A and B are shown apart, each in its own frame.
Chain A
């Protein structure tokens, strides 16, 4: 009888070491993962050989989409809250507590300040799917300059990074750069992808 039994069942594997390994890896990936905030626009960065790493905190990201819209991103919930207070008093606008809370949780936005209140009133889904018109950067009403000035006032350690799409035309980039220079930001970063030697060869052939 016992002999027959052992023949009928398939060989039994000890799953415990496998589970151990799998969970070890799961733990590792869970701890190393930082969920990327959903970007309102998709950006394809150009590649470069540069090996400077972008700092993770105290950073302002100015996103320029391929169709020339400018979006502003500031890290830190608390900094964002204070930034909105500054901008509100500057433009004689008032935001409700709910709107302030929404703003403080917004990693990137790209609407003129006049439309900000209604933008913040939208629910999460609508806000994500909405096509944001971009922050005005024309010399007549350069809101980007104001956002930068107040952000730097709140956090003087801020570093500024330009996150441009590779298809963005130069005049928009130039406007952003001159806005920065006019506000005494002469040192900033351009976000790029790491160019691998392989890619480089491919682009050359």
Chain B
């Protein structure tokens, strides 16, 4: 019952458009074009990433060519601050070098950032030694380098995690 009905409708349409075309411009059905355009639009919108990767810059000290020069320049103990990063996103810091008192901190803005800001005000030429433990991850490293940039700490260095640090942290824990 329905099929003939449909047919008659389409036929009716055709005659109708035939009638019209004689009077004015040919009427093109734009719907498929719009469909296609929007399909493409959706595709490109979903595949496009406007995000150009961000990057932070890291400058490492050049390796000295001469053995004699390679002797590390001693840092004034009063100006040294050491940040130790270990597994499970835990972070510690201590001031000075010999027999320091270790404190635990955290990566959020009330943690290490406020300490860095505070110490930076107290000590003009603060030198931060960053020691990343074996089980700390790359995110920790980037986070702490980011903190250096945020707190505008100019002097910092990535230093190897030593046995003394391990002992200090073990004692603290």
Contact = CB atoms under 8 A, between A and B. Distances in A.
B45 to A, nearest CB: 6
A192 B142 contact: yes
- Interface size on B, as a range, is 35 or more
A19 B33 contact: yes
A36 B49 contact: yes
Of the listed residues A22, A25, A32, A193, the one surrounded by the most CB atoms of chain B closer than 10 A to its CB is A22
Interface string A1-39: 000010001000001101100110110011011011000
Contacts, number: 160
B54 A186 contact: no
B68 interface: no
Interface residues of A, number: 58
Nearest to A183: B63
B34 A48 contact: no
Give the secondary structure class of B's interface: mixed
B13 to A, nearest CB: 8
Given A173-B141, A181-B62, A190-B55, A33 B134 contact: no
B56 interface: yes
A166 B132 contact: no
Nearest to A25: B41
Contact of B59 (A169, A182, A186): A186
A5 to B, nearest CB: 6
A182 B70 CA distance: 13
A167 interface: yes
A113 B140 CA distance: 32
Nearest to B111: A204
B63 A204 contact: no
Given A169-B135, A174-B132, A184-B62, A19 B34 contact: yes
Interface string B130-158: 00111111111111011001100000001
A171 B132 CA distance: 9
A26 B150 CA distance: 40
Nearest to B51: A194
Contacts of B63: 181-182, 184
Contacts of A77: none
A172 to B, nearest CB: 8
Contacts of B61: 181, 186
A204 B110 contact: yes
A50 interface: yes
Contact of A22 (B41, B50, B60): B41
12 contacts: A15-B33, A19-B37, A26-B41, A46-B143, A48-B142, A51-B54, A52-B56, A54-B54, A169-B135, A170-B137, A192-B55, A204-B108
The 10 closest A-B pairs by CB, nearest first: A15-B30, A29-B44, A22-B37, A166-B139, A50-B56, A189-B55, A46-B139, A204-B108, A46-B142, A168-B138
Given A170-B138, A190-B56, A190-B145, 11 more contacts: A36-B49, A46-B139, A48-B149, A50-B56, A166-B142, A177-B58, A186-B59, A189-B56, A189-B58, A192-B53, A200-B109
